[in-house]
Amino acid sequence: MNRELIEEFLRYLSNEKNFSPHTLRAYRRDLEDFLKFLGNKPITEVELSDLRAFIVTLRKTVSPRTVARKLSAIKSLYRYLMKHKGPVDTRLLALASPKLSKELPRVLTVDEAVGLIESPLEDHFISLRDRVALELLYGAGLRASELCGLRLPDINLQVRLLRVRGKGRKERLVPLGRKAKEAISKYLPEREKFLQRLGRSSDYLLLNRFGGPLSTRSLQRIVQKYALKVGLSGVHPHVLRHSFATHLLESGADLRSIQEMLGHSRLATTERYTHLDFGHLARVYDTAHPRALAKKPECDKD
């Protein structure tokens, strides 16, 4: 019975809420962990003490952020059950998530980002593909799943626009930089030759060595490979997305425009992604605030 309810809930998230396959896999993993903890106890009979015991167990092995994510998935399940299946213990929905430290994600400098993007040097299919991937992660601020899901009909090189499907399958238009356009234009002929050699066809932009769509895990490995090549550690696709947003803001772009390009539904999410260091804020103040711009009084000349 428990597994049937989980499957029904996941179908609801897919069909009614338009959750991405990546998000659905994460929900499934988190809810299956909860099922293992419950054993034979029906989900509909879970009490607050059960959920608290599960959280205590988690805290011994995983980070507070992981605990918060799993608790969020469980609460979503019980909100669904309460709405569609009848009463549940409402105290389950009120259980507070662990407090998370507000660590600022890493941001590359402009020189680091450019060095990373330009590190694929060869003209063969794999190197050209990797250059396109890096260009779009940093030049368009795409999520890894958005980039791996990008198809040829989504790309308009003439007007330099991408049609991107983000979270909840929401579509948005993202500008395509000139460097990214050049990289894609150089890659597409080699991509076609590669598919012809394999005797396959595909409309996905980024392909793996078998001609299928590139996975997000493979994309992570690609980013790490070239980051290590240029002497950078701890770099993953989201670092490039965050660097994209931060560099735009530091160059004078407004938050609303950045929000649109990133595909955030709330401006508060964009503000979290686009932190600025104090030195930059001080420079903005010195060049923009009326009191900072006020001329110093000239000394009287005797």
pLDDT in tens, 238-287: 999 989 988 888 787 878 888 888 888 777 777 765 555 455 555 556 66
Q: Which two tokens stand for residue 46?
A: 């879970």
Q: Are 194 and 127 in contact (CB under 8 A)?
A: no
User: CB-based burial of residue 233 (10 Å sphere; 0-12 exposed, 13-18 middle, 19+ buried)?
Assistant: exposed
The yes or no reply on domain 2-94 and CATH 1.10.150.130 is: yes
Query: Which has the minimum average pLDDT: 16-20, 43-47, 289-293?
Result: 289-293
Q: Could you tell me where in the chain the CATH 1.10.443.10 domains are found?
A: 110-283
- The pairs formed by 20-27 with CB atoms below 8 angstroms and a separation of 24 or more are 20/145, 20/167, 20/168, 20/169, 22/145, 22/216, 23/167, 26/69, 26/73, 27/73, 27/76
Instruction: Read off the DSSP letter of residue 45.
Output: G
Asked if the model's pLDDT at residue 294 lies above 70, the reply is: no
Q: Which helix (H) or strand (E) holds 131?
A: helix 125-139
- Sheet architecture: strand order including 161-165: 155-156, 161-165, 171-175
Mean pLDDT value across residues 150-164:
94
Predicted confidence band of residue 129 (pLDDT cuts 50, 70, 90)? very high
The SS3 call for residue 162 is strand
Segments of the chain assigned to CATH 1.10.150.130: 2-94
Q: What is the CATH number of domain 110-283?
A: 1.10.443.10
pLDDT single digits (tens) 206-235: 999 999 999 999 999 999 999 999 999 989
Res. 296: pLDDT tops 50:
no
Structure tokens at 211: 């001609």
Length of the chain equals 302
pLDDT at position 265: 74
Alpha carbon distance 300, 223 (integer Å): 61
pLDDT of residue 23: 84
Calculate mean pLDDT across residues 288-292: 60
- Report the pLDDT value the prediction gives residue 154, as an integer from 0 to 100: 95
Catalytic residue ranges: 143, 167, 238, 241, 264, 273
Predicted pLDDT at 264:
80
Q: Does the pLDDT at position 301 exceed 50?
A: no
